[in-house]
Structure formats: C-alpha cells, structure tokens
Amino acid sequence: MFNKILIANRGEIACRVAATARRMGVKTVAVYSDADAHAKHVAVCDEAVYIGGSAPKDSYLRWEKIIAAAQATGAQAIHPGYGFLSENDEFAQACADAGLVFIGPPASAILAMGLKAESKQLMEKAGVPLVPGYHGADQDPALLQREADRIGYPVLIKASAGGGGKGMRVVEQAGDFASALASCQREAINSFGNDTVLIEKYVQRPRHIEIQVFGDTLGNYVYLFERDCSVQRRHQKVLEEAPAPGMTPEMRAQMGEAAVSAARAVNYVGAGTVEFIVEQRDGGEMTFFFMEMNTRLQVEHPVTEAITGEDLVEWQLRVASGQPLPKRQDELRIIGHAIEARICAENPDNNFLPATGTLHVYGLPECVTFERANRSDTGVAVRIDSGVRQGDAISPFYDSMVAKVIVHGDTRAQALARLDTALAQTHIVGLSTNVQFLRRVAATPSFTQANLDTGLIPREAGCLFDQEPVGLVLAVAAAVAQTLLAEAAAAGTDPFSRRDGWRSHGLVQRRFSFDFHAVPVPALLTYQHNGALHLSVGEGDAQVAGTLAFQSPDAQRIDLQFAGQRQAVSIYTQGETQYIFAAHGATEIIEIDLLAHSGEAPAEGGRLTAPMPGKVVSFAVKAGDVVTKGQALAVMEAMKMEHTIAAPTDGVVAELLYAPGDQVTEGSELLTLVAAVAAVAAAA
C-alpha cells in the first residue's frame, strides 16, 4: 500500500478521498488554486501545494505542475478524483512516465473509452446494442446536419469528450440544428479542449441506468450492480438511487455482464462506470443501449457504497497498489435502498442559473449510522459529502455543487422519508440553492411511484417551480417574532423593550411593513394589557388576525403559534432579509424600515445586466437592432456552462457595453435596451 498520495482535485471529492486515505493510514497531499487557498480540502490533507490561478486552465488542468508537486512531496501515486484530469489519457501516461501510479485505468483504456464516438465503434464491434446515430470523424457542419436529418428528429448532439451535460443539446427540428451545434462545440472547447461531437437519435421516455465495474491488475472483474440516474435537469443528474427500481435479476445480470465485457475489452483497471440508455416500452419491457463509459469514479458512487457496504475509494487504492479485488462477484450483495441528492448553488426558478456567494449559514443534518442485519459492519442511514464549510465562498470558477446528501433504508420508501427529513434539516443562507427543489422532486407522484425517465422534471414542472410552501401569514408571524426576540436580546433589561409590551398608559400598537416575493405586506402588532400580543397581517378581506405566541429554545429556532397554526421554524437574519425554514419548506421575507423607506425609488429600466460573474461568449444583436420579448441577446459562460440572456421586453438595442471574451462581474450592464416607443419618439 502507498505511504502518500497526491489528490489532483478539489472540493468534496478531494475531501472524500482524503477521508478514506486517512482511515487507511495513507498520507495525503492537496493542490490548490488562488480561489482555493483557504478551502476545506486544503485543511483536511496532510500537506498542500499551490499550483496556480483560479481558472482551471491555470491550476487544476496544469498536469505538469501537479506531477511536480507529487515528486516534490514524495507522493507515490496520484488520485484524480472526477472531472478535471480524471479522464485525460495524456496525464495518466505522464504519471507513469514520471514513475507515479495513476489511481485509475491505464492511459490506453482511457483513450479507448474516453471519446464517445470511438467507444461506440468499439462496442459495436463487441456486439453491444447502440442507439442509432452518427459517430464518425468527419465533423463538417453540413455533413452533421445531413446525418441529423437522416436519423430523424429529435436528435441529441453530444460532445465526444464530454460529460456532466456539458456540450449537449436536444434538437427538435432541422432549423435549430446549426445554432445548437455551434453552442455545443463552444462549450466542448471550453470544458474539454475538444469540439468533436456525435449525433444520436433522442430516445423517448429513456431511463439512464449505469453499472459500476471494477477491474484489477490480475485480470479479475466484477460489477457492483446498478444506479438509476434518470432524474436530470439540462442533462445533469439531480437524484441518483441504487438499486434501480423495477430492475429484474435477469436484466441486472445482462447489463452487469455487458459492462464487464466492455471493461475487459480494454484491459480496464480500477473503478469505472458503463452507462446505458434504457428504452421503456408498453407492458414494462425494457431494452438497453450502450451510451458511454466513464473511466473514473462517479459523483454518485456513495449510493453503491451504501447498498454494498464497500468503500470504493479503498478498492481504488488497493487495486492501484497491485492488490487483487477485495471481493469476487458471488460475494457481493445488495442491501436495502439508497438515494443521493446533489445540492447545487443555483436558482431552479430561474432556469437553474448558477449562484455565487458566501455560505453565511451552512447547517447540515447529522450523519446517522446503524448496525447492518447479518453483517459485522456498520451502515450509514444519512451521509453528507461536502467540500465547503460555513463562511466559505462559492466562486464562478468551478462546478456549482455544494454537497451531496446520501440516505439509506431497508426499503425505497424508508430511504425517501429519510431523504426528506435530511433535506428539511439542511439550512443554507447566502446564495440560492436547489434544496427545496430537491424536496419537491422527491415528493412528486412520478418519483415516489418510481415512474422514472429523463423527462420527469419537465413532466412535473407544475409542482416543482415557483412554489411557496411556507405562506405569507406564517412568514410574517415568524419575522415579527424574530424581530421582537432580537430587540429584546439587544435591549437587555430595558423594561420599555420587553416583549410583553408593558406601558404605563393605554394600548400600544406597532406597525410593520414587509416585502414578500415583491408584494408589499402591512402588519399591525398590538400589545395588550394582559401581556398578550395581537397580530394582524394584510389588509381588507385578506387580513388575518389572531394572538401571536412564541418561545425560542435556541438562537435560531422559534416555536410559533398564530392563526390556528403551530410551527417550529428556524430563522436566520441577513441585513433586512429573514430566511425562514419550516418542516414543509423554506422562504424569505424582507422587513422594510418604515422610516428609511418613506418614498419609492424610481425604477431602473432599459438595462440588461449579468445575472452572475462570468465571460461574455457572444452577442446575437448589434446596436440599432429591433428585438422582441424573449429574443436571445447574448450568451454568457459561467461554471463551465453557457447561459442565454433574453430580452425582457420589446425594444431597440441602443449600445453593447462589452465585447465577446470580456470577463464581467455579477450585475454588470451588458447592453442598453430602449423601449420601442421611446426609440420611435427619439427618431422623430
């Protein structure tokens, strides 16, 4: 076994690898960029080496610096994690040339399986069924258009060197193909340095099921069963589970044996995942097609660990050091059911726009362990894999994933219940996340009934987006209670700030004003002689009134009673905004200072600003162009993905304020748009 390894990655996967290495007595070396100088993965490793600037191309993709760091620190092997250099055959070969062990497959296997087109050709020769498509080397756009027309729409354009949904587009009709192809190629160049694409028939109601495989240097191979990764947004996984619901033992064996055959064909060593598209037909019949092989550990590997009781990173280290696989195929068993939810910094209600910012509050559920039945080891009912801490910043340079919540149960229903509880206990303040969206996805009829396919999120959109689970009345009552508690704590023993509102004369009333999802809400609090608090929320027929009662067991939690409701809520205050977490969801409300907001500021119109830090890729318009609401104006790139900026209204482009390639900060004005009426008047 190695004495020391270097982890050529960052974030949660670097922390994950370091945890297993520490348990095994293996020392670890971290590498870090400018943006990650104070990151968690740097702190949890035994040593750390600076390798360059914040952008991946200046640090985590500079393999010559990483190899030099390994040699300088005496590391014997390099674990690449996933992403970055994990599937770079040149890096794997460079490690071998430098006398370092690459904890992964040989360069030849990465080369054979790393490019989607070539791997499909290899699988076709091996007799593995493929989705109809074009996987050729000729990348002439006109030829690609003709191939798409031949295959028949809808088609899927995929970056051949891609992964994680980057460089991938579904094209519904021929007229959209050219622009989708150009966008895919730009994204592919930025993420992988290779703009080669393949074209495939887009399978209707597909499930995404993958098989975890392992090989050692002695020629042994096993599969550790399957994972269902069908729940996706923009071709990126949201929820993953194991085993796949509805999988029969016969089909599991067929897919597992096909995956092992694929690994054996390229003399694979280490952890790999063979991904299949599964077509669902009437009557429950399922047919699988080879999609690709990921020659690395997957983000969703914890669900496989949960149902098998195996540590896949330990397997990687043992195999890479020359040891045989820890178990044979007949020794592997499925235990219960596991689900993983990826917590990302993004706004699901705004087309999953990535978010950046500081984790002012980062509250996670406690990990829960249990004794496995008929086993000597301990299982984990709730597991958190995270690469950040409270106070850390999520930057625009890397992937938007913040953490993974993994749950395990005896049954799928039990795992679902544990997932909702764990997500309800996840409190993040400082940037937008998808935590509440994940809870809603897991609660949809489609997911709870295991009616799975990659179209689940669009199909259930009506109950997933723009939801308000907490409600106005409870939000206002909680905000008033939090304000009174904060004032009482600040006032100390001042009797005129006591919560009972005692005064030497008459009733005392206090007015509040709130902004709740851009809607102004008045509230009136009356301190009654008996110490009770009477609260009225809203105006007119919609007004709700009643006695407000509350107590605070700790700094954030409030046990609240108002208007027939009794709720335990947690509240965190940042400036004028109060973030409220209840058992059934979360919301936020802004308390308006009535003295400071006596008038309304004029609206700022005619501007289009960058919704996040990033780079301007292109403009689709020029000064003087007439545009309509919803028309694409510009494309930005951030967190390795492209985002289209659309016109919020009809108008005329007055000026472009940046050029393609420019880096911009969040809120930067990209262009000026003049209302059509104003433009006509100016011209006259």
Q: What is the 3-state secondary structure (H, E, C) of 227-277?
A: EEEEEEECCEEEEEEECCCCCCHHHHHHHHHHHHHHHHHCCCCEEEEEEEE
For residue 33, the cross-strand partners are 52
* Separation of alpha carbons 174 and 422, rounded Å: 45
CA atoms of 242 and 226, how far apart (whole Å):
6
Backbone angles phi, psi at 224, to 5 degrees: -105, 45
Is 296 designated active site? yes
DSSP states of 358-412 = E-SEEE-PPPEEEEPTT-SSEEEEEEEEES--TT-EE-TTS--EEEEEEEEESSH
Of the candidates 10, 169, 233, 296, the residue annotated as catalytic is 296
CA neighbor of 661 nearest in space, from 629, 631, 619: 619
Residue 593 CB neighbour total at 10 angstroms: 9
Beta bridge partners of 562: 565
Sign of torsion over alpha carbons 637, 639, 643, 649: negative
Quote the DSSP letter at residue 520: E
Q: Which pair of structure tokens corresponds to residue 9? A: 């990655």
For residue 85, give the 3-state DSSP assignment: coil
H/E stretch holding 670 = strand 669-674
For β-strands 101-102 and 77-79, DSSP reports them as parallel
How is the beta sheet containing 663-664 ordered, strand by strand?
A: 641-646, 632-638, 614-619, 663-664
Report DSSP state, residue 42. Answer: H
Phi, psi of 231 (to 5 degrees): -80, 110
Nearest to 391 by CA among 356, 435, 426, 430: 430
Residue 619 phi, psi dihedral angles, 5° rounding: -110, 140
Task: Count other C-beta atoms under 10 Å from residue 548's C-beta.
Answer: 23
| DSSP assignment string, 577-642 | EEEEEETTEEEEEEE--TTTTSSPPPP--SEEE-SSSEEEEEES--TT-EE-TT-EEEEEEETTEE
């409190």: which residue's tokens?
Answer: 427
- The C-alpha torsion from 383 through 386 and 389 to 391, rounded to 10°, is -120
User: Alpha-carbon distance 195 to 214, whole Å?
Assistant: 30
Active-site residue numbers? 296
